[in-house]
Amino acid sequence: MKVLMFGWEFPPHISGGLGTACYGLTKGLAKHGVEVLFVMPSPSGDEDQSAVKIINASDVVIDESVKNSESFLQKVQFLRVGSNMVPYVDPVRFTTLVESQRVSQIEGYKMYAGERYQFSGKYGTNLMEEVARYAIVAGEIALKYDFDIIHAHDWLTYLAGITAKRLTGKPLVVHMHATEFDRSGNNINTQVYDLEKMGMKEADIVIAVSNLTRNIVISKYGINPEKVITVHNAVEFDKSDNMEVERGVPEKVVTFLGRITYQKGPEYFIEAAAKVLKRYPNVRFVMAGNGDLLTRAIRRVAKLGIATKFHFTGFLKGADVNRMYSYSDVYVMPSVSEPFGISPLEAMRANVPVIISKQSGVAEVLTHALKVDFWDIDAMADAIHALLVYPALSNFVVKNGFEEVNALKWDNAAAKVKEIYTKLTGKL
């Protein structure tokens, strides 16, 4: 069994949980004897290639396999969808625009043919363009390499997955790590929504990282429930021991760690903190991360008059993240909508008791975590307080949580994914 896998990032260069998940899954698949051809733009060359063979999309020279660029574009009709990337066009202008875009795309394609097109590989202002170009290269790769099935991670690579499927007729699996509704609430970016929906419609199987995500996929994208399968994420830890840190403050520390955006529910954490501080002074709160709601969060903390006990660290990475966990007595993930959520698992692994919102996929696989509705700040404050003042509770949760989190293995998730491959290809 050989899989052509389209991803976007890979450790150590990651900007979110997607890369970590791709890495864990491919390693798990490799253990089950599945070969993975992992396609991604602009890898920097220092990724761990022990489990997977990484094809640098920037290294693929577009010339030989398709002689006539016009016929290539005809075969791959979706490329016209690329014209959607121009926002706010009315239906009359749309047709002409599509036609002119098609022409310019052919031109552009010819221009790049025979050359290496350098992908930036970072999410930027020309992301949509990159997504489409990535898809063109995907077609080249699909025709060049031998494989049994195609697997695409998140909407960024769905066009690539579809191209490969149309060119080769091989079955396509798309993997929903997040939906546009998780990222943006109800003010969704319709381009992204359309790409997600198209990818899932074209796919033979849609993998959702939680039942929460599966429900969104079914109810908000209208995907046939029969082809949507939940495979919960897992977590992989390196062997390194938890670090010991010296405390600078005598108080207990309650931590929020994540992007400070709508999706992560930072305001609920702040309100709960204020409630706790009103009755229980022996505690400090830390909000680690960056995001578009950061200034609003700082203003709210100031207004509540708790700024001497509530601290912002800015964006943390690498060892600082681990240090932050070691520094914490309670970890809170109040996400409004979290398809899965790896960070509570990292906290549990560092022997920190966690409070997670019921609106997170990870709540489906954890029993030894306190669960509250993200909006229920009374319950959140109560849970924080309980973990601070009832040592029997935090000890129990930490002990059992550590065991629980170590039992979540990518091996098991990969086995489920392999089962899906086998079902679609008839191969073992």
Binding residues for other proteins, rule: CB under 8 A, are: 275, 278-280, 367-368, 370-371, 378, 381-383, 385-386, 389-390, 392-393, 395-397, 400
Closest CB to other proteins among residues 153, 284: 284
The residue (of 175 and 385) whose beta carbon lies closer to other proteins is: 385
Query: What's the token pair of residue 278?
Result: 């009103």
- We find the least distance from the C-beta atom of residue 266 to other proteins, in angstroms, to be 22
Q: Which is nearer to other proteins, 26 or 230 (CB)?
A: 230
Nearest CA to 415 among 289, 244, 229, 252?
229
Closest separation between CB of residue 320 and other proteins, Å? 30
What minimum distance in Å lies between the beta carbon of 393 and other proteins?
Answer: 6
Q: Exposed, middle or buried by CB within 10 Å (0-12, 13-18, 19+), for 259?
A: middle
| Token pair listed for 409 | 């293995």
Closest approach of Cβ 12 to other proteins, in Å?
A: 36
Alpha helices in 254-337 (DSSP H): 266-279, 294-304, 319-327
Tokens 């990724």 correspond to 47
Helix (H) or strand (E) holding 399: helix 391-406
Per DSSP, 293 falls in state: T
Nearer to other proteins, 383 or 420 (CB): 383
Tell the smallest beta-carbon distance from residue 371 to other proteins (Å): 7
Rounded to the nearest 10 degrees, what angle do helices 294-304 and 266-279 cross at?
Answer: 20
CA distance linking residue 383 with residue 389, whole number of Å: 10
With respect to other proteins, which residue has the nearer C-beta, 239 or 279? Answer: 279
Q: For other proteins, which is the closer residue by CB, 36 or 380?
A: 380
Are 143 and 123 a contacting pair, CB within 8 Å?
no
Identify the helix (H) or strand (E) that includes residue 175: strand 172-176
Would you say 97 or 386 has its CB closer to other proteins? 386
User: Least distance from C-beta 419 to other proteins, angstroms?
Assistant: 23
Interatomic CA distance for residues 230 and 210, integer angstroms? 6
**Pairing mode, if any, of strands 354-357 and 252-257?**
unpaired
User: What's the first-to-final CA gap in the chain, in angstroms?
Assistant: 6
Backbone φ and ψ for 242, nearest 5 degrees, come out as -65, 140
In angstroms, what is the minimal distance from the CB of 367 to other proteins?
A: 5
Compute the least distance from the CB of residue 283 to other proteins, in Å.
12
By beta-carbon proximity to other proteins, the closer residue of 129 and 404 is: 404
CA distance 340 to 173: 19
